[in-house]
Structure 1
């Protein structure tokens, strides 16, 4: 049996939360994060994973709810904002997280460890807030009949 949108969103939200916890644990595991490449790599891999779970959640909702055909992750978050799933401010914050994820994945530039630390310490809450909001809305939306 194919999992429902709610089930898939719940799984992705759990994976996102786990990735955030791991990123923060790796960040906290050393007093010298700026020079500890092993902990940096482990933390940033989990930041990337958390971002990708949020992007997947957005794309799933956009597809299931037929909210258009966004060209990229930022556009998916903007579509959710236009249709009331999230507010415009959160969509903008998520767009910045997408940009950070792109720097990680595509290595457009060397990453300043202080920026990485700030993202891990403060900005990952944006992803957690997003997951909580969309999961709450999905759970409060009546299910389609079988």
Structure 2
């Protein structure tokens, strides 16, 4: 059950996610050569990480509020939402790939490919924005039908 307090938390996380996406794009585009401008590169990628973490938090909060199985990982949280009809499977898959990218950023599992970073910033941050919009839409209370 999504109560008013949780709706407020989700709205705040959505705002933080949106702000992080905007900052990531702005910082990446602020540099004529992000491959060699580590200040803008770091600022952009830190904000990608922040946006991902807000989405992960939102997914986990929804799973917890509904009493669903606690996801074993960040990717699993998005698939749990898809399983329960909160988001569609293609969006869950896209968000899972964002989690994988975030893991590379955070844990440096492998060297960061700046071409992939550019592609993520240009094309896949919208997946995070779409997720936030869907969550807020689903979390809003449905109006009661008026009595005749």
Q: Please give the TM-score of this superposition, normalised by the length of structure 1.
A: 0.93
Q: Distance in 2 between matches of 1:39 and 1:8?
A: 30
Question: 1:140 deviation in Å?
Answer: 3.6
Output the CA distance in 2 between the equivalents of 1:18 and 1:89.
24
1:67 maps to 68
In structure 1, how many angstroms separate the alpha carbons of the residues matched to 2:10 and 2:55?
Answer: 9
Residue of structure 1 equivalent to 2:51: 50
Between the two proteins, the alignment pairs up a number of residues equal to 141
Runs of 5+ consecutive residues of structure 2 not aligned to the other structure: 144-148
Q: Which residue does the alignment assign to 2:35?
A: 34
Pair 1:85-2:91 in alignment? no
Higher-Rg member (1/2)? 2
Tell me, in whole angstroms, the C-alpha distance in 1 between the residues paired with 2:140 and 2:114: 38
Where do residues 1-146 of structure 1 align in structure 2 (5 Å cutoff)? 4-141=5-142
Contact 1:23 1:44 in 2 (8 A): yes
CA RMSD of superposed structures (Å): 1.4
In the aligned structure 2, how far is the partner of 1:59 from the partner of 1:14?
17
- 1:52-83 CA-to-partner distances (Å, cap 9, x unmatched) read 00000000000001121210111111110010
Secondary structure at the counterpart of residue 4 of structure 1: helix
Unaligned runs of 5+ in 1: none
TM-score by length of 2: 0.92
Runs of 4+ in 1 over 4 A off after TM superposition: none
